[in-house]
Every structure is written in structure tokens, then in C-alpha cells.
Amino acid sequence: MSVAFDYELKHRGPDWGGLHQYGDSFLTHQRLAIIDPASGDQPLYNEDKTIVVTVNGEIYNHEMLRKQLSTHKFRTGSDCEVIAHLYEEHEENFVNMLDGLFSFVLLDTRDNSFLVARDAIGITPLYIGWGLDGSVWISSEMKGLNDDCEHFECFPPGHLYSSKTGELKRWYNPVWYSELIPSVPYDPLVLRKAFEDAVVKRLMTDVPFGVLLSGGLDSSLVASVTARHLAGTKAAKQWGTQLHSFCVGLEGSPDLKAAREVANYLGTVHHEFHFTVQDGIDAIEDVIYHIETYDVTSIRASTPMFLMSRKIKSLGVKMVLSGEGSDEILGGYLYFHKAPNKEEFHRETCRKIKALHQYDCLRANKATSAWGLEARVPFLDKEFINIAMSIDPEWKMIKPDEGRIEKWILRKAFDDEKNPYLPKHILYRQKEQFSDGVGYSWIDGLKTHAEAHVTHKMMLNAQHIYPHNTPTTKEGYYYRMIFERFFPQNSARLTVPGGPSIACSTAKAIEWDAQWSKNLDPSGRAALGVHVSAYEAQAPASLVAKNKMLRNMVEVADPALIIMS
């Protein structure tokens, strides 16, 4: 058996490279040094080097685990070295003890066996492949498997693979995973503390860092909590107590304006990056190569993040905190307005969390890692998820007549009159899809560009050219052409979630309200009337007129539901 992390993925770890070979097993690693840059090069070992491990990730509770391993001698200050010693003590049963984001391969030279594991939610990417010669391959990105594997697939989150059995086994199995309806009463202070703890533990760093700040609820709370707790951390002693924040958008976009206001309120050193629609279009091929998907919403949102990450890295920053995961856990997407009951609401949040590794986690990790930048996501902290998903979903339900908009329980938890975290209008800012928030003309520009490259005749043959996940729009077809050029293997196309090129939430949205079927665009515009004023203030006059015409033509059972094209 052979197992390797591909050493060609240098963009993910530009700081150092390492290789360990034992028999026909090879472990390679490209390092992005965040903790212990001086001595934490990988692979990492136990005392006698019989256990070898390569890790992509951060173990936030490594200091506590080191204390439990007091009889062991550590070679480095790396947070990931605990994995080798934990295996000595507990074999494969230690994985649930790890608090952090990680993918790792561990080689036990005593019996030439190996173990592979991925974090609970799939924040870090991981793929597994098989060669015709009987070899097994592991890589952080599937481009590392292209040439060597007859078949490869996404390594599932919360699982481990042991060469002793040749089988995958789920190690992460929380109560919420079974989708049983929880009944714990909502306590705003418990939820607040869980999130603050999640943010604080992610301030573990030996290099400069910052926060991504779009001005929406999630990123603003991440920035606010970080700013409050930064002063007492090791990072503050090294890099100062003033937080750096970063935002990207088209000139005049909603996010730029809102982020600027939040940054001023929090007193951050704010960095505002502008891009044009043409800048984004020019980057599309690079984006698809790096994020390894043809999913329309992922590409739309990844492109501004990809451009911003390059700018951030140029400033010497190597780690950022980001707000992914909140909408899935708390039901923040606009179609949750149509959830018929708390049972349906809860099951949909469970489904969304389980799919995060194919969407937002994939986007956030790969769009930043393309430039050697690490993204940490406190909303996807294991303990925060456990607490948030144990709350009776009746509290999460969106009830406008009671003043409860999406993610009300999070907003209420941080609505502190005496010591406010954010201005009220930011705390209660309504949902804006990232690809829209960076500027409403971004998506329109992408569609126009695709129109020029995909003909009507090409669309007529789409089902024959791409029988799997057949694209239904010219934009989807355009992305698919690029993807297939980089990743022509059948294994590659199968790693992208099923269905036509629309958001994975669409099927559930249509089930809850048939009006959603009138719009196949995955943008947040196919949504509720909460965005009407914002969109019409920014969008071109022709689109505003078209939208008003549609509202007059379409019979809408609920007057709040608007179809936007």
C-alpha cells in the first residue's frame, strides 16, 4: 500500500516541504506555518519515529492534550504533534479528543499500517483514491490524485479510514446527526458564551492574522468578539492589540459600505479591496482550478474571496477568521422563511450542515489556500454546534409577526444594551448572499459573459455532452466546460453534488413553497421581499423594471415572495 499527501500542492503550504518514506509508503507535506514556525516542520513523529504523521489543520486544545501526555517527550511546539502521541496511547480511538480542523495521515511503521481522518464537518478538504496497482492515495486536493488513481472520491467528514480493515468508519456522531428534534430551551447567554469561546480558541497563532468582514451579521460578530478578546492573547503580545479587518466588493457594493461602518465602530485597521466584474471574469479559470467544483453558487462566491485572499497574503497576513456555517446551523437562508414547522426546519439545518464540506467549507478553504492563507471558522466549532443544535428549533423559526427574522436567536444573544457588540441596524441586518453582497452587477456580469461563450445550440446538446449533472443555464455550462478541461476524469465530476446547476437548497425550497420553482437561478435574489429595496437601489434600471413587471405578472400566494431575475 502507498499513501501520500501530494507535494505538488505548494500553494497550500509555501513555507516548507517534507517527505518521509518507509517501504512502499510515502508521506509528503507542504507546510503553511501558523503555530511554531521555527520547529514545526512536517512530517511529525513520536519519540522513536515509529509513528509518522502529516497533518493539514490546527488542534486548538493541544496544550491540554500535552498535559494528558506528560510521560511523552515532544520534539516540537507544533499543535499537531499530539496526534502521534495520542495514537500511541489510544490507537484510532483518539480522534474525537481533537478539537480543531484537520485532515491527517498517520503511518505506524511497527506493522506498516496507516490511518486517515478528517475533521467533524469537513472544514479541511480531503480526497482518497485507488490505483490499479493496489495503492491507496490521500490528498488535500483532487488535483494531487489526477494522474495516479483509477478512481478517487471525496473523503467524508467525521470519518476515519484504517488500512487494517480497508473500511471507512464514522468517528463523529453527535446527537443532532440523527436529526431527532431537540427540546432544550433557548438561553441567549449560553449561546453567546459558546460562540465567544469558539472565537477565542481560534486566536491561537504565531503569525499575523485578521478577520474577513463583509458587514453582515456573521462576520461582524466574529470581528466584534475577536476585537473584545484580542488584548489578553499571545497573538496581541506579538502583533499588537488592534485588529485588522478585510473586505472585498465592487465599487459601491452593499458589503463595502456595511463593513466600513462596522470597522469604524470596532476600531479595526480596515482594508477595503475593490475589484471589477472584468477582474472577476479574468480569474474564473484559476478559481475553478483551485476550488475544484462546477457548482454555480460556489464559483460566484469563491471568485471575490480568491481575489481578496491574494491581497491579504500580500500584506503578510497568514490566517483569517471567517463567518461560514451560521446560516446552516441557525436556518439563516431566506427559504427558511417558508419552513412549515419546526421539525422540517430542524431536519433541513441538519442536512445543510452535513453538506457544508461540498459548498461553503470547500469555498472558504480552497479560495484562501490558493494563496497560502488559512481560514478559521468559529461557527463550526464542535461545542458551539452541539449547543446550537440542541435548542428547540421552535426558537429558530422565522416569525415576522413576532419580530423574529432569520437567525433571531443569535441576534438576541448579542443584543447587549449596556455593552453593545454591534450597532442595532447591523445586528439586525437581513441576509445578503455573499455573491450579491459584493455588488449586484457581479452575477449579472457573469451571466452576460457566459451568454457570449455558450450558444443556444450548445445548450440543446447539454444532456448529451454532460449527462451527469447536466447544466441548465449557460453560466453553469460555461463553468462545466472549464472544469472538465482541468478535471476530465469521471471521478472528478462525481465529487460535485448532484442536481442541475442550482443551489442545493432549491429542492427543499420548492417543496416548502411551489413559487420557488419559477426561478432556477441559485442567487439569493430568488427570494423573499426582504431584499427588494436593497436590490432596486443598486441594480440597473432595466432589471428593476423587469422585476416590477414580474411581480405584476406572477401570482404569488404570499405577497412577501418576490421572483427576481
State yes or no: 79 annotated in a binding site: yes
The predicted-structure confidence for 179-216, as pLDDT tens digits, reads as follows 999 999 999 999 999 999 999 999 999 999 999 999 99
* Sign for the pseudo-dihedral over CA of 296, 300, 306, 307: positive
Q: Is 255 annotated as contributing to ligand binding?
A: no
322 annotated as a binding-site residue:
yes
Which 3-state string (H, E, C) describes 371-439?
CCCEEECHHHCHHHHHHHCCECHHHCCCEHHHCECCCHHHHHHCCCCCCCCCCHHHHCCCCCCHHHHCC
Q: Give, in order, the Cα–Cα distances in Å from 544 to each of 185, 410, 532, 539, 554.
A: 43, 33, 9, 6, 15
Beta-carbon contacts of residue 325 (< 8 Å; ≥ 6 apart)? 121, 353, 356, 360, 361, 377, 379, 380
Q: What's the pLDDT at 59?
A: 96
pLDDT score, position 5? 46
Task: Look up residue 496 and give its DSSP letter.
Answer: S
Structure confidence at residue 517 (pLDDT): 65
The whole-model pTM stands at 0.90
Could you give the CA distance from residue 329 to residue 383 in angstroms, rounded to a whole number?
12
Give the span between the Cα atoms of 544 and 535, in whole angstroms. Answer: 8
Q: For residue 559, what pLDDT is reported? A: 26
Which distant-in-sequence residues (6+ apart) come within 8 Å of 187 by Cβ?
none
**Whole-number Å distance between alpha carbons of 191 and 213:** 21
- In 3D space, the residue among 378, 387, 68, 406 whose CA is nearest the CA of residue 224 turns out to be 378
Neighbour tally for 219: CB within 10 Å: 26
The response to whether 212 counts as a known ligand-binding position is yes
CA distance 564 to 159: 40
For residues 98 and 61, what is the distance between their CA atoms, to the nearest angstrom? 7
What is the reported pLDDT for 545? 47
Q: How many CB atoms lie within 10 A of CB 112?
A: 13
Q: What is the pLDDT of residue 8?
A: 73
CA distance 391 to 184: 5
Determine if the peptide bond prior to 43 is cis (ω within 30°). Answer: yes
Q: Is 212 helix (H, G, I), strand (E, B) or coil?
A: strand
- The single-letter DSSP state of residue 50 is -
Parts of the chain with a pLDDT under 50: 1-5, 500-503, 528, 530-540, 542-565
Evaluated on CA atoms 217, 219, 221, 227, the torsion sign reads negative
Domains of the chain, each with CATH number or no CATH: 16-173 (3.60.20.10), 176-430 (3.40.50.620)
